[in-house]
Structure 1
Amino acid sequence: MINILTSKTIFHKEYAKKVLTPYIQPESKICVIAFSHFESNDMLNSYYKTYEKPLGIWYLHIVEPLLTYGILEDQIEFVLYKKDSKEDALKKIQEANILFLPGGAPDKFMERLKEYELLDALKNFDGIIIGPSAGTMIQFNWFHISKDRDYKKYSINSGIGYLNDFGVEVHYNRRKQQKKSIRRVSHYHDRPVYVIEETGLMILKDGKIIFQKDAYKYYEKGKKVYKKNKIYA
C-alpha cells in the first residue's frame, strides 16, 4: 500500500509531480470519497454545487491537478453523500486503484464512512491512498484535531487505521494552538508527532516513510525533537 499525506492539494506542483508520477499514472482509476464537508443549514444543496461538473469549486480543485498526470475526467469517479447508495459507493471503491480522500472535517468524514458501512472495504483496499488535510488525518488509526476557526476544542478521534506508528499535525504554521495540541497529544501517547507544512508531502510504502518534504518529526515521548529532515527517497 502507498499512502500519500499532504496538507493541501499540491499534486500539480512540479516538486510533487517529480515524486508522485510513479504512483499516479495516466491509466489510473480514481475514486473520490467526497464525505468531508462541514455541516450547515443548507449543507446538501451547497455541498452538491461544489462538486457539480464541470465548474463546481471542489470538483475543479480535485480534478484539475489530477488531469496534469494525463488522466481523463471519466477515469475519476465521485462518491457523493446521500446521492450514491451504499452499494454504488462500494462498487466505485472496488473498481479504483487510487482512493482520494478530500480535505474538510475529519470527524464528520469518519461518521459518514461508518454510516455508509465502508470501513471494512477501505481497510481492505490495497492500492494508493491520497489524502490532503482531513484526508491525511483519517488515514491513521486515531488522530487529534487542534483548536482553530472550525473547531472550538481539541479532540481525539478514531480513523481508518492504515497508519499507526506516528501522528500528524497538518497545515502546520507554528500557531500557538497547534503547538499546544502537539504537546498534549504527545503526552497522551508516546508515538512521534510529525508536522506537515502547507507545502509538505510525505509518501509511505507499507507503513514506512520513503519520501518527505516540508514534513518532519516534531515531538516524541513528550519531548520536542524538532529536526527538519532533508528530502530523501
Structure 2
Amino acid sequence: MKPEAKILIIPFATDNSRYESWMASITQAFSIMENVSIELLNEDLSGKEMKNSIMEHDILYFIGGKPERLIHVIEEKGLTAIIKNFQGLIIGYSAGSLAFGHDCIITKDKDYPETIVIKGLGLVGFSVEVHYKDNIDGELFPYQMNERYMQYQMEVQFSQERGNYIKV
C-alpha cells in the first residue's frame, strides 16, 4: 500500500443505518498508517460520478452485508467494467468478497433459509465461502463438483483446440 493512499468504501451491501459503524471500524483499522484518507461512495451519485470517484482512489473496500444488493447496485450504476479494470488494491469483507466470484454462492444461515447461487461480478475465477463451518460441507459439495467439472471441460476444450493433451 502506498503512502497517502486513498481508500474508497463501497457500502452497497448494507443499509445506510450501518454506514457510520462501518466507517468507524475501517478508519480504526487503517489508523496505524499515516496520511491515509478514507471516503464513502455515496449511492445517490450518478454512475458517471461513481466511476470518477473510483478512478481517483488507490483502494476499493467492499463492506459486508447482502451480496445480492451489492451486485445489483454495481450493475445498475454500470460499475462492473471499471471495477474489473481497477489497477489498485481491492478488498472485500464478507459479502464484499462473495460478490467477486463468477458465481456468488450464498449458503444457508440465519439470513438465508436455503443455499442460493447468483451471478457474481466475475472479478476472480473462483467462489468463496466467507463464513465457513464444516457443517455446511454438504451444501457446498454439489457446487464444488460443478466448478471442477466446468474447469475440466474448459481444459479439455482448450487441449483439443491446441492439439495438446491433459494429464488427468
* TM-score above 0.5, yes or no: yes
Q: Kindly report which structure 2 residues correspond to 1:132-211, keeping only aligned pairs within 5 A, or say none.
A: 132-164=93-125, 166-174=126-134, 176=135, 178-190=136-148
User: Is this contact kept in 2: 1:33–1:101, CA < 8 A?
Assistant: yes
> Which has the higher Rg, Structure 1 or Structure 2?
2
Question: How far is 1:85 from its partner?
Answer: 2.4
Q: Gaps (5+ residues) in structure 1?
A: 1-23, 38-46, 192-233
Determine the structure 1 residue equivalent to 2:8: 31
AA of the residue aligned to 1:155: I
User: Is this contact kept in 2: 1:29–1:76, CA < 8 A?
Assistant: yes
TM-score, reference length from structure 1: 0.59
Q: Gaps (5+ residues) in structure 2?
A: 150-168
User: Is this contact kept in 2: 1:25–1:71, CA < 8 A?
Assistant: no
The runs of 4+ residues in structure 1 deviating greater than 6 Å are none
TM-score, reference length from structure 2: 0.80
Q: Which has the higher contact order (CA 8 A, sep 6+)?
A: 1
Determine the structure 1 residue equivalent to 2:16: 48
User: Is this contact kept in 1: 2:94–2:130, CA < 8 A?
Assistant: yes
* 1:67 to 2:31 alignment: yes
Please list the CA deviations of residues 121-160 of structure 1 after superposition, one character each: whole Å capped at 9, or x if unmatched: 1111121111111111112122211001111211112222
Note the aligned Cα RMSD (angstroms).
1.7
* 1:79 to 2:37 alignment: no
AA of the residue aligned to 2:65: G
Q: State the secondary structure of the residue aligned to 1:186.
A: helix
Rounded to whole Å, the distance in 2 between the matches of 1:120 and 1:98 is: 16
Q: 2:62 aligns with which of 85, 101, 106?
A: 101
Give the structure with the larger helix fraction: 2
Rounded to whole Å, the distance in 2 between the matches of 1:142 and 1:58 is: 26
* 1:57 to 2:21 alignment: yes
